[in-house]
Structure 1
């Protein structure tokens, strides 16, 4: 796919030169003419369909449509999740389009996007407050979850605005809405119990988790751990697994690990590569519960979570099934060659000198946001830099950390049946799902979701229901009730 501006859930790919030749881009462009659109250019406030020049990069696939809400690829991709997740009631198509129209009218830049979706979140959160006061618990729940969704839309781009330190306050608004929403009377049609809030022993302060159950009978059920990625929030996992699990009589557990949610925004704790250190305490806790079948615990990982759970499953062998959606074999390879070539492992001073004096000064504001956002998850310094409105200055440290996120050696040690998802138009980890599959020694299956089902692009933003059908049909086949 053609290069474009910063794209949600994408890692830094494309050509990176220096000075006037700088071409620092992220993956995921669906530009109709095969070129990167100019960031910030407003388009008509409506949904249009334009042909895309390619399918999976390098595959020779035939073109397929791309829905255009924004000219800027990053905002367009993010907004598609807002539309797709309306299937599960955590957003409303009309509210999403209203926010899109407002952002386009304001100039379609990051400030306008954040302002529009934050305002929509505020509007719906106010409705939730009023419903709570009136005792209308269903409306209070539904509006709270939608508010959390809109705050999530805004949260991704806040580092690119004039007020990047607003990241933590915006996350706090999200959490207030999320906490109210999951405390409500259920998430699916019919009666469902509220989520149980759990504190999982882990380091200093533990991990916050939420356990959803089909009912409160206490029956020992199959349980799926739904592992998020690098920049989504828990409310999106309602659409990407929780509701589907409940409808099929599974328990579902969602949690915030290092680098995610409050762990990053409030405590400044970045991702760690040895993800088994995170998943094993989760399995420990679940295995000791009467309402969990300890012999039927599965693990799914969404987006960057696909790499994390693959590493965890290589060492946590109590898991009975694994879904990597999609997996990355090596995060370091998601950076452009030109970036990787400036790294001298034996001379971090030289690496940072080139980075700070040659590379960063040549970036556009959009590129600086991309770097700050994509790298805030790896080191405390990178997170502090992002809150200060600029990319990390210690790129050598980020590079050293990124190189640890690989499953080349770990994948062959996975013992449980594994489902590998890939996507037509996957431009974040192109080719890596198939490479991961080739490393596995356990029983494994790969499914590629396609444009024919409207499920193209990384994580199927327009088709979470189709994605869930694939995932849970497979889980039901390998983990019988």
Structure 2
């Protein structure tokens, strides 16, 4: 892993801004300058530097827009949105944290200010029904009603619908596809402002999303692709096991059974204690939270699940599994893994073996520059492989049958 900040947690997150820069969502020099001023191990320093950078970018965006320089305004708004996202990243351990709410509001406002300046056409999506709240944006290459393939990109553990623009939408739009970026329970503003935690049955979220999508113009009903990245590498296949209107499924990294991974990490003795709700287990798990970065990571995940102890979090995470239902996935599936991806559970082969639908697996490596979480800085290599596979898959589905 390339080192820009002498702190593993901060450096890992900083690289996400570098990948955003490759998609027009940040400036390399500006981002590196911010990194040089951040004190390793200091979340306050992190928030302060990104806040300053976001405010500066937003001020410049306003000035450029007033001057009629709409290209510069668009780029500056997107930079501000990314920098505000970084501001609140480590503040998500407390849903009442003022930094979280002010920076999240800035993140959304900056992105929405950029929307009218983008070349694509945008339709916001916001609905709440039966306890399910969803927020997102359908982005189309242009305003025509031409039916196009649509990539559905749910947020991961720590992302937002707005961040999905640079993470996934830009690449889909460049290839003439629509992209629906969205957040549901436990993600983005649905968690921060509506206080709705994650749920393991992601089909309850994705099915009404597809219902909404099919009512929009310019969507090919036979070419909807569910692309789950990071924690959505679980959410997507879980939904696909029940939702059969999909033309393809992509999981990056493919995640099969969190309970099995937790069992391996805890060992049999502690696994038995977890299952029996041993009240002394949390004290023995405390060393897992000794490092401030690790503690932050556990705590914001607990918040996302609506729990407050490590053992409750691990028990809740055990519900996130597609064991026993993976064979219900009916669409062609691309299952990915990246070397050194902390989010991977090492279950790529298990995932693939459990499917009865056509499945392609691929592992990216650090040697090719695509190691780390969701292929790290190797996003062009990821896109080349993913969209190459997707183009072939859609062509095969649409090919006429000959007798």
Question: C-alpha distance in 2, partners of 1:446/1:257?
Answer: 27
Q: What residue is the counterpart of 2:367 in the other structure?
A: 452
Superposed counterparts of 1:4-403, under 5 Å:
66-103=1-38, 106-159=39-92, 164-181=97-114, 183-186=115-118, 192-204=119-131, 206-335=133-262, 336-337=265-266, 340-341=270-271, 343-346=273-276, 348=277, 350-351=278-279, 353-355=280-282, 357-360=283-286, 363-379=290-306, 382=307, 392-393=308-309, 395-403=310-318
CA displacement, residues 23-57 of structure 1 (integer Å, 9 cap, x when unaligned): xxxxxxxxxxxxxxxxxxxxxxxxxxxxxxxxxxx
Offset, 1:115: 1.4
Shift of 1:271: 0.8
Q: Which residue of 2 aligns with 1:23?
A: none
SS in 2 for 1:409: coil
Q: CA deviation at 1:431?
A: 1.8
The equivalent of 1:461 in structure 2 is: 376
Higher mean displacement: 437-446 or 199-208: 199-208
SS in 2 for 1:184: helix
Superimposed CA distance per residue, residues 321-367 of structure 1 (whole angstroms, 9 cap, x where no aligned partner): 00001111122344430695374444x4x43x442x55448734444
Q: What TM-score results when the alignment is normalised by the length of structure 2?
A: 0.90
| CA root-mean-square deviation | 2.3
| 1:407 and 2:342 correspond | no
Structure-2 change in CA distance of 1:471 and 1:295 (3 Å)? same
Write the distance in 2 (CA, Å) between the matches of 1:434 and 1:288. 37
The question of whether the paired residues in 1 share the 8 Å contact of 2:136 and 2:161 is answered with no
Mark the runs of 5 or more structure 2 residues left unpaired by the alignment.
Answer: 399-403
The alpha-carbon deviation at position 158 of structure 1 amounts to 2.2
**Paired residues of 1:90 and 1:235 also in contact (CA < 8 A):** no
Q: How far apart are 1:396 and its partner, in Å? A: 4.6
The aligned length equals 391
| Superposition deviation, residue 240 in structure 1 | 2.9
- CA gap of 1:427–1:434, structure 2 versus 1, over 3 A, is farther
Output one character per residue of 1:245-277: Cα deviation in whole Å (capped at 9) or x when no partner: 111111110111111111110011111111111
| Unaligned residue ranges in structure 1 (runs of 5+) | 1-65, 187-191, 383-391
**Distance change in 2, residues 1:411/1:276 (3 Å):** same
**Would the alpha carbon gap of residues 343 and 269 (structure 1) be closer, same or farther in structure 2, given more than 3 Å must change?**
farther
Structure-1 residue corresponding to 2:386: 471
Larger helix percent: 2
| Residue 442 of structure 1, aligned match among 318, 343, 357 | 357
Pick closer, same or farther for the CA change 1:160–1:96 going to 2, 3 Å. Answer: farther
Query: 1:207 Cα deviation (Å)?
Result: 1.6
**2:136–2:162 CA contact under 8 A, matched in 1:** no
CA contact (8 A) 1:301 1:323 kept: yes
TM-score, normalised on structure 1? 0.76
- 8 A Cα contact 2:226 2:236, kept in partner: yes
RCO (CA 8 Å, sep 6+): is it higher in 1 or 2? 1
Q: Distance in 1 between matches of 2:93 and 2:189?
A: 20
